Structure 1
Amino acid sequence: MSRRTVNRAILAVVGLLLLVGGALVLLGGLDVYRHLGITPPHWWPLTSPEQPVVSATSRTRWTDRDWWWPVAIAVPALVVLGGLWWLFSQLRRGGPAGLDLPSPAAPGQPHFALHVRSRAIEDAIETELIAHPAVDRVTVRVTGAARRPEVHTALRLVPGADTAALIDTYRTGPVERARRSLGLAALPSELRLRVARPRKARTKKTPRVR
């Protein structure tokens, strides 16, 4: 499951809970039930402006139990830690910042390493792919560990593009050249294809004769 899918699911659940909770508080605070002549069930959380959101009975129902206070402290703590983890996971980049490439040195000289940024690798692959006549749009992301990078590519193709030929070009072209340039034994890659919608041809309007 991708990070985008997880983010959308989390935001959808949190938004739904906030929407439902806010609607219940608003209906009770504005005394909507009385104005509409509706009698909510006895277990309804908030029915009138004078009623607290959490009643005294609900607040003290389990306070005499041994497990109540550990649970009351642990649950909010887990919620806060989960929120902080999600926040920091959005701030950090999903892939390595760069790769260190060993370079041969002159005899008697120590070996050194070249540092190549992941953005440079992504730009190189994108530049080569966007030049292909069948490609309308391209997005490349380098993810994984610094020693085991992975390439994730999303292509939007023009209508009528030869998909099989493009896949073969992708494997033997930019990805293979990137693997050789980085000195890697293997460079796993994922390719997603999407065909662009054909653009509607503009029809010339016939001038009206008065």
Structure 2
Amino acid sequence: MVVNRVLLGAVGVLLLGTGVLVLAGGLDLYRRLGVHPPHWWPLTSPDQPVVSARSRGRWVSSAWWWPTVIGGLAVLVVGMAWWLVAQLRRTGLSSIAVPTPGVSGLRLRVSARALEEAMETGTVVLPEVERVGVRLVRAPGHPRLRGAVRLTPGGDPAALVEHFEDGPRTDACRSLGLPELPADLRIRVLQAAPAEPRRRWRRRRRRPSRVL
């Protein structure tokens, strides 16, 4: 998530900056505002092309120019389209169906967030648990749990796994009527802060005063 947000922010800033430069040059804002950009500044006036005639003549005469440009643009378009589809695709579940054996015509669904909060509440009761987050995601054929737990210094991961298996996970399977509910649990144990070394105070000997 962090990498994704950083990439989205960087691409957004780059596109915004490019758009501002093109808009400023196209609307002739530099001349209207009395701003004199340096000679190498791109798009300073509406009549200035994006690529100079000298550059166009130098690169277009090369045989590799057009295949490289077309191939690069195609890869860029395909990559951006794939990225857009990945952003629109939701991995989390909004609700989950609960079987109703013996009752025909009844469809029951439970909110995924309600189930996640119930599991978080059942896990955080341990005194060693400082923070917990549970998410119900899609998986082939059945839902799947993803949890992240942070333990206090000296916490016991084995005891946490046993509690999570016998408590919240078993209760969720029983409530949803599922034979099993696979889970990926990530546990992090915090490190204890190092003790500050004690300062040793040395008693300074007082020198006898001299009488002149």
TM-score interval for Structure 1 and Structure 2 normalised by the shorter chain: 0.5 to 0.7
Match of 1:93 in 2: 90
Letter in 2 for 1:97: S
SS of match in other structure, 1:176:
helix
Deviates more, 1:142-151 or 1:183-192: 142-151
Q: Deviations over 1:175-207 (max 9, x none)?
A: 122122212222111111112354799xxxxxx
Q: Percent identity among equivalent residues?
A: 43
The total of aligned residue pairs comes to 174
CA RMSD of aligned residues (A): 4.3
For the pair 1:163 / 2:157, whether they are aligned, the reply is: yes
Which sections of structure 1, spanning at least 5 residues, go unmatched?
22-28, 32-45, 202-210
Aligned to 1:194: 188
1:57-76 matched pairs, under 5 angstroms: 57-60=54-57, 61-62=59-60, 68=66, 72=69, 75-76=72-73
Of 122, 127, 135, the residue aligned with 2:129 is 135
Q: After superposition, what is the alpha-carbon deviation per residue over 1:68-88, rounded to whole angstroms, capped at 9, x for unaligned?
A: 3x8756754653564355345
Q: Distance in 1 between matches of 2:98 and 2:9?
A: 42
Instruction: Sort the Cα spacing of 1:169 and 1:48 in 2 relative to 1 into closer, same or farther, 3 A.
Output: closer
Conservation of the 8 A alpha-carbon contact between 2:128 and 2:152: yes
Flag the 1:155–1:63 CA change in 2: closer, same or farther, 3 A.
same
Among 2, 7, 27, the alignment partner of 2:4 is 7
Aligned amino acid, residue 185 of structure 2: L
Letter in 1 for 2:171: R
Q: Quick one: structure 1 residues 64 and 164, their matched pair in 2 at CA, closer, same or farther if it must change by over 3 Å? A: closer
Query: Is contact 1:96–1:146 with CA below 8 Å preserved after alignment?
Result: no
**Partner Cα separation in structure 2 for residue 82 and residue 12 of structure 1:** 17
**For structure 2, which runs of at least 5 residues remain unmatched after alignment?**
19-36, 196-212
* Equivalent position of 2:119 in the other structure: 125
**Corresponding residue number in structure 1 for 2:170:** 176
Partners in 2 of 1:188 and 1:89 — Cα distance? 24
With structure 2 as the length reference, what TM-score do the two structures score?
A: 0.61
Assess if the C-alpha contact under 8 Å between 2:129 and 2:151 holds in 1.
yes
1:83 aligns with 2:77: no
Q: TM-score, normalised by structure 1?
A: 0.61
